[in-house]
Every structure is written in C-alpha cells, then in structure tokens.
Amino acid sequence: MEIRLAIANAADVETECLVTFAVDHGDKQKPEPKLATKDAVAEKAAADLIASGEITGKPFETVLLHRPQGLKAKRLLVVSAGKGKTFSHVELRKAAGTALRALKAKMIKSCAILLPELSSGVEDAMRSIVEGACVADFDPDTYRSDRKDYSMKDVTVVAPTGSDQGKLQSMLDQARIIGESQNLTRELVNEPGNRMTPTMLAERARKMCESTGLKCEIGGPDRIKALKMGAFWSVAQGSDEEPRLIIMKYEPEGAPEKPVLGLIGKGVTFDTGGISIKPAEGMEKMKYDMAGGAAMIGAMRAIAMLKPKVKVISIVCATENMPSGKAQKPGDVQIAMSGKAIEIVNTDAEGRLVLADGLHYARTLGCTHLIDAATLTGACVVALGHVNAGVFANDEDAFAHFSKSLERSGEKFWRLPVDGEYLDQIRSNIGDIMNTGGRWGGASTAAAFLKEFVEDTPWLHLDIAGTAWIEDNKSWIAKGPSGIAVRSLVEWVKSYAQNGSK
C-alpha cells in the first residue's frame, strides 16, 4: 500500500473517496456530531448528511455519500470517532482503520483522508491515521484458494494548506514503518505450525535482519546445549523439530555504551502442552504461542529503520512443545543456564522455561535493562480479559518509561503485582523453584518465576496471552493476530534514546 502526503484543500482533491471524521459534541439525549476539520467545503458537503441524523455520534459508524457537493472526490465517507471530549490519537487510529476496512469491503482501491484537528497536534494525527490504515489493510485469509485482493493500493493523507510538510512527511514515514512492522508480527503469528516451525521463524528473522542491516545469529541444539540452557532445551527435547536460538543486535554508531536494552520473546511455534497435554478444543490457536517472539522481530525491524541512538539486543527462544517419548515429564528437574534447579510440575508451563534462559543469556550479553513479551498465562486472561495485557515490573524507572510509551502507542496494559509472597508459592522441596504455583495468582507466580532469572536488572514482563489474538472482527482490525506490544516496545526503546536512563 502506498501512503503519501498532500497539502491541499479538500475541494481540490481528486480521489475515489474522501474520508473525514465526525465527533459528537452533544450528550446522550441530543447528539451534536461535527466534522473534526475546519475545511469549509468538506463541512458544507457533509452538512445535509449530519442534519439528517444518519450520523448519530456512535463510535466507528460510517456513512457514505456519493457525488458530494463542492468536492472533486467521487465519494465522501464520514466516520464517527465518538465523543469530542475524548477524541484522541487512540480513537483516531481506530477510526482511520474503520474507514479503510469499510472501503476495502466495497473494493475501493484508493482514498484520501483529511487530517483532523487533534488536541495533541497534527503530527499525532498523522501518526494515528497512517498506523491505523496499515493495520486495517491486513487480512488473515492467506491460504484461501478463492482469496480476493481487497487490499488498499493508495492512501493520501491530506493536510490543510500552510502545514509543515517536512514534519508531517517525517511522521508519515515513521508511522508507516511501525504499522508495517506490526503487520510483519501479525503475518508471523498467523502462519500455521507446519509453516512456521522454529527453523522457519529463525529464517524469517534472518531475512528481516539482512534487509534492515541488523546483526543476526542463529543457534541450534548444539549451541543451546553448549550454553547450558537446560530450561530452554527441556521444552525442545520432545519435538522432532529442532529449536532455534535467535539473536538480533542493533548497535548504531554514536550510541552510548549504556543502556543496552534487552528484548526477549517467547517463540513457542506450537504448544500442545507437552505431556500435560491441553484439551483438543481450541488447540489449533496454539500456533499463536510465539506471538511474543514475533513481536520482538517486528519491533527490531522498526528499531533498525527508525535508528534511535541506543543499543538493543533481542533474543527469541523458538521451539515446539510436544509430547513424545523424549519429552520432559512432570516431576523432572531441569538446570537452567543460571544454575537454578527447576522442578517441572506442569509441562504446559513451558513459556517461562524458555524465557528464563533467554533473560539470563541477555544479561550475559551485557543488557542493562530487560523487557520480555509472551503469551504466558491463562490466568492473565482471567484477570484482564481480552481488553488489557498484563505488565509486571521490578523497577519503577523502567516502568515509568513504559507507562510513558503507552501514552504514545495507545496499547492497553495493566500493571499486576509480583510481590515476594508469590515466590513462596513456587518454592520447590527438591530444587530451587517449581515451574507453576497452582491455580491462584497464576499470572503473578509466573512473573515471580521470571523475576528469579533477572535478579536486580531493571525488568518488565508483558503477558499478552489475552490480547495477542482477536476473537472477532472489529471495524478497524481483522479477526486473528493483533501484533500487540510492537508499538509499545518501539516507543519504550525510543524513550531511552531520547531521555537516557537512571
């Protein structure tokens, strides 16, 4: 999809469809929708439509007008973005996605989107429109034999005359990189387990690194064993598919020696649960258990192209979790790379095992700040549903950086506790630590497990189990992989490049 900038009046834009946004300035009893633009011609073209009551102010409703008066555009699409007092880049991103998907459904291949007025500024508006459009253009029907090309070919973002073209073009370019990187993550997650094995995931990561100038190292069983990654290997040993240790490095010229940011992703390309096998119902979705690793690959692509002045190392531990005569068993004791002895209580609590070695290895490579992402626990889904992802932290400054990043990314995370009492639930009688503490507080006991492998290193854990897969089509995004965490990871990395660290 081509995305370009135009500085023009709405009346002069020739396009298949001109898109504008309406926000409601009224109340429940009497909606007062108005366009979020001061373009007089666009306001006049939509005046009768608004007066008719067809636009009620309900978020993300769409109304299409043919041959709008005073415009060269063939159509005018008005998208409601909800209440004016809450209209922000979050709602605008979804509204832009809604517009694109509404037009895609009608096989319209090009459109122009009027840049609305946003309290946080036109650059924020540009970013939200471009990111929303990129995300909306993805569909998961990769292998359908009757697949039709609904993709949008050309989007023009129209800014009012007098706008700073240089700043807007720069923001457009940055937003496109982030949106396309989020879609890369979604592409990886969408692939079925037979077409996204650990070896295949590593190859996709290598190709991405080659195209963006990142350093990439791929290790197999011999490297994993040589590093004494007993926790990682314990998950991999039951599968005929070889595991892969993926290491991606971004080391820009002029970056300070510290901080070195470590991005660690769970890359379980298919999770049966192992000997503690999962129920058959819904197991087909376990192809998405590598969403944390895929998020790191997408984030590293964006980081390489945006070029922040900070060093970043990403590690993805890629494996399958399969039952076989070689698979680990409940009751086994595994020795992690750090030397800790782990009692395996449930082989389906495998994500924390691969992350344990990934986190420790990142520290040995010199990472001073760590963040991991994983579809780790069903308990997090029980706690937060499919609305918020969970975030845990052992360091307030690192968490402050992440909270600030969420203001820009628009992604929804909720902080959960990782108090010392949760560690008490997973202490082992035969070893140091058990890989599960039972039903209660499962998201926090999993985080407490990981915390044992970072020690005093500033660390954040993102449990994205409930938000990495979208169960139903939304007006702005297709059912399937969401690409959650890519935008927040990128903003978190950028925050250290801009502000330094403590």
Where in the sequence numbering do the catalytic residues fall? 278, 352
β-pairing, 110-114 vs 18-24, is: parallel
Peptide bond into 259 cis (omega under 30): yes
Task: Select from 409, 382, 393, 399 the least CA-distant residue to 465.
Answer: 382
339-375: string of b/e by CB count within 10 Å (b at 16+)? ebebbbbebbbbbbbbbbbbbbbbbeeebbbbbbbbb
Bridge partners (DSSP) listed for residue 459: 370
Is 295:484 a contact under the CB 8 Å cutoff? yes
Written as six digits, the tokens of 385 are 């549903």
Q: Which residue shows structure tokens 């197991």?
A: 283
Q: What is the 3-state secondary structure (H, E, C) of 34-92?
A: EECCCCHHHHHHHHHHHHCCCCCCCCCCEEEEECCCCCCCCEEEEEEEEEHHHCCHHHH
Residue 24 token pair = 């409601």
Task: Single out the residue of 295, 242, 261, 213 nearest to residue 462, CA to CA.
Answer: 295
Q: What residue has token string 């290598």?
A: 206
Torsion of CA 52, 56, 60, 62, to 10 degrees: -10
C-alpha to C-alpha distance for 384 and 491, rounded to whole angstroms: 23
What is the H or E stretch that residue 33 is in?
A: strand 33-35
DSSP of 305-374: HH--SSEEEEEEEEEEE--STTS--TT-EEE-TTS-EEE-S-TT--HHHHHHHHHHHHHHTT-SEEEEEE
> Would you state the structure tokens that stand for residue 28, as one six-digit string?
């429940």
Task: Give the C-alpha distances (Å, rounded to integers) separating 310 from 54, 78, 249, 497.
Answer: 50, 42, 11, 5
The length of the chain in residues reads: 502
Neighbours of 64 (CB within 10 A): 17
Q: How far is residue 417's CA from residue 278's CA, in Å, rounded to a whole number?
A: 27
Separation between Cα atoms, residue 367 and residue 263, nearest integer Å = 9
32 touches 26 (CB < 8 A): yes
